[in-house]
Structure 1
Amino acid sequence: MTTHPAGPLSAAPARRRLSPEPYLYLLPHAVLFFVFTVYPIGYGLYISLHRWDLLNPEKAFVGTEFYRNLLSSGTPQSEFFWRTLLNTTLFTVVSVPLLVAAALGLALLLYRPIFGRSFFRAVFFLPGILTVSVMGILWRWMFDNQIGLVNAARELLTGAPPIPWLSTEGLAWVPIVVGTVWWTVGFNMTLYLAALGNIPSSLYEAASLDGATPGQQFRFITWPLLGPQTLFVFITTALASFQLFGQSLVITAGGPNRSTQSVIQYITEEGFTNAQISSAAAMGFVFGLMMLILTAAQFRIMARDAREGGAA
Structure 2
Amino acid sequence: MTATPVSTPQETVRRGSGPRPRRRVSLEPYLYLLPHAALFFVFTVYPIGYGLYIAMHRWDLLSGRQPFVGLEFFRNLFIAGTPQADFFWRTLWNTTFFTLISVPLLVAAALGLALLLHRPIFGRAFFRAVFFMPGILTVSVMGILWRWMFDNQIGLVNAARELTGAPPIPWLSTEGLAWIPIIVGTIWWTLGFNMTLYLAALGNISQSFYEAAELDGATAGQQFRFITWPLLTPITLFVVITTALASFQLFGQSLVITNGGPNRSTQSVIQYITEEGFSNSQISSAAAMGFVFGLLMLVLTAAQFRLMARDVQSSGEEK
- TM-score by length of structure 2 reads 0.93
Letter in 2 for 1:236: T
* 1:216 maps onto 2:222 in alignment: yes
Counterpart in the other structure of 1:38: 45
C-alpha separation between the residues in 2 aligned to 1:79 and 1:160?
Answer: 38
C-alpha separation between the residues in 2 aligned to 1:251 and 1:208?
Answer: 49
Counterpart in the other structure of 2:54: 47
Letter in 2 for 1:104: L
1:289 is displaced (CA, Å) by 0.4
Q: 2:175 aligns with which of 148, 169, 172?
A: 169
Counterpart in the other structure of 1:126: 133
Please identify the structure whose Cα radius of gyration is greater: 2
C-alpha separation between the residues in 2 aligned to 1:18 and 1:106?
Answer: 56
1:15 is displaced (CA, Å) by 7.5
Cα deviations by residue, 1:58-112 (Å, 9 ceiling, x for unpaired): 2100001100110001110000000000000000000000000010001000011
Letter in 1 for 2:301: T
Letter in 2 for 1:306: V
C-alpha separation between the residues in 2 aligned to 1:202 and 1:243?
Answer: 41
C-alpha separation between the residues in 2 aligned to 1:154 and 1:15?
Answer: 84
Letter in 2 for 1:180: T
Counterpart in the other structure of 1:179: 185
Partner of 1:51, secondary structure, is coil
Q: 2:249 aligns with which of 243, 247, 260?
A: 243
C-alpha separation between the residues in 2 aligned to 1:57 and 1:89?
Answer: 37
Partner of 1:50, secondary structure, is coil
Identity, % of aligned positions = 82
**Runs of at least 5 residues in structure 1 that lack an aligned partner in the other structure:** 2-10
1:18 is displaced (CA, Å) by 2.8
| Comparing 54-63 and 33-42, the one that deviates more | 54-63
Letter in 1 for 2:89: W
Letter in 2 for 1:18: V
C-alpha separation between the residues in 1 aligned to 2:22 and 2:257?
Answer: 65
Q: 2:81 aligns with which of 74, 82, 93?
A: 74
- Runs of 4+ aligned structure 1 residues displaced above 3 Å come to 11-17
C-alpha separation between the residues in 2 aligned to 1:178 and 1:17?
Answer: 62
C-alpha separation between the residues in 2 aligned to 1:149 and 1:34?
Answer: 49
Cα deviations by residue, 1:154-198 (Å, 9 ceiling, x for unpaired): 221x31100100000000000000000000010000000000011
Cα deviations by residue, 1:187-227 (Å, 9 ceiling, x for unpaired): 00000000001100100111111111111100000000000
Partner of 2:172, secondary structure, is helix
Partner of 2:229, secondary structure, is helix
Aligned residues: 304
Partner of 1:53, secondary structure, is coil
C-alpha separation between the residues in 2 aligned to 1:214 and 1:17?
Answer: 66
Counterpart in the other structure of 2:70: 63
Two-structure CA RMSD over aligned residues (Å): 1.7
C-alpha separation between the residues in 2 aligned to 1:186 and 1:20?
Answer: 46
